[in-house]
Amino acid sequence: MYVWYWNAYRCYAYLSDVGHAPDVDNAFLTPQQLDTSEWFTRGWTLQELLAPQTVIFVDDEWQIIGHKCCLPCWCMSETRYALKQDLGHLGPILNEQLTEITGIDGEFLERCEKIQTASIARRISWASKRKTTRIEDMAYCLLGLLRVNMPLLYGEGETAFCRLQEELIKRSTDQSIFAWTLNEAEYGHIANVPKVSGIFAHSPADFEKSGSVCTTGADTWPYTMTNTGLHLRTVARRSRLARKIGRYGSRGGQEIFVIRLNCRLETVEWTPSKDSGEPIDIVVAECPRPFQGLAHLRRFQRIHDFGRMLADSCPIGPPEDVNLYVRTFNHVEVLRWLDPDPYYP
């Protein structure tokens, strides 16, 4: 569908819930009236907004409200007066209002081809506040935007978004896919308590705060999905906190690693050539090891809201080259391994 919109000469967005304001002097609605429209809260309309060269917004009486102005746009053409008869009026430029309503930077509205240069996290963040009737559609409505092909399997539920992330890491080295945080609406009630999860997000809502994440394009070791989780060879720093709180004597505690991703939080002065912008780290902790026989097999899980504990308690070691198997998708739980592990007497 994304390609279908991409190839469209122009698209009309009929906002059935935006009433026509009869105004003698100005037939157009004030753009502020737009943001109440349901059109901006649905998942599938994201690609309808981004992919076409021209989107003309019309109200419930099919009167033109204005248009998304994408370069080159007919409204800037010198021949527009000659062509006006054929093309119809495009109405005023709504780009600024659209940015305000959707949080999508103007450059991506103005230049369709720039969309594919946005980091994965940023593109998913555009859908973070949107809703779809079926839970699977939250993943499926992003396929075109993220240039992923995968079969649609209605009934798979939340797994759809997990599958989407698996597909993405097969073809992309952009680690901003890991630059998400637990959604406050869902986990705010256990704020500031360390929590564990897999390395994959549960829904686009987890990317709500990732709207200004840029990829640095730095090289990464290949990472692969295995039956033990995501195999990640990377440079990471070891937290000495693990040793301190470990309860298992000579066996040592579970290890904690801080992994720096190849993406950054964009700041005003950030440019790709300068190595500035705020770096993004994720923290992984070793899962409890239930079987001594597999001591060499160490699985990790992601931990959240752990930063202060990490910073207060112990220094972090120098960067080292590590091989980690990280669980991909599991339910968010409060971190429990600070308690004695039932497997060890």
| Binding-residue total with Zn ion (CB under 5 A) | 3
Please name which of 41, 182, 40, 203 lies closest in space to residue 135, comparing C-alpha atoms.
203
Instruction: Report the C-alpha gap between 99 and 33 in whole angstroms.
Output: 14
For residue 215, report the phi and psi dihedrals to the nearest 5 degrees: -85, 145
Q: How far is the CB of 37 from Zn ion (least distance, A)?
A: 20
Choice between 5 and 306, CB closer to Zn ion: 5
Choice between 112 and 164, CB closer to Zn ion: 112
Q: How far is the CB of 91 from Zn ion (least distance, A)?
A: 9
Q: How far is the CB of 68 from Zn ion (least distance, A)?
A: 8
Q: How far is the CB of 73 from Zn ion (least distance, A)?
A: 3
CA-CA distances (angstroms) from residue 94 to 66, 191, 241, 327, 330?
A: 6, 38, 52, 44, 42
Binding mask 13-52 for Zn ion (x = CB under 5 A): ----------------------------------------
Element (H, E) at 278: strand 278-286
Tell me, rounded to whole angstroms, the distance of Cα 300 from its chain centroid: 22
Instruction: Report the C-alpha gap between 234 and 142 in whole angstroms.
Output: 28
Q: How far is the CB of 69 from Zn ion (least distance, A)?
A: 3
Choice between 69 and 124, CB closer to Zn ion: 69
- 87 contributes a contact to Zn ion by CB under 5 A: no
Q: How far is the CB of 336 from Zn ion (least distance, A)?
A: 56
Cβ atoms of 60 and 15 closer than 8 Å: yes
Cα dihedral value 207, 238, 323, 200, nearest 10: -20
For residue 186, what are its two tokens? 């869902």
Choice between 75 and 332, CB closer to Zn ion: 75
Residues 61-80 that bind Zn ion (CB under 5 A): 69, 73, 75
Q: How far is the CB of 108 from Zn ion (least distance, A)?
A: 15
Choice between 75 and 190, CB closer to Zn ion: 75
Choice between 48 and 136, CB closer to Zn ion: 48
Choice between 112 and 148, CB closer to Zn ion: 112
Binding mask 212-231 for Zn ion (x = CB under 5 A): --------------------
Alpha helices (H) in 54-209, listed in sequence order:
80-87, 95-102, 106-110, 120-125, 137-140, 159-171, 184-187
DSSP state, residue 318: E
Q: Which residues bind Zn ion (CB under 5 A)?
A: 69, 73, 75
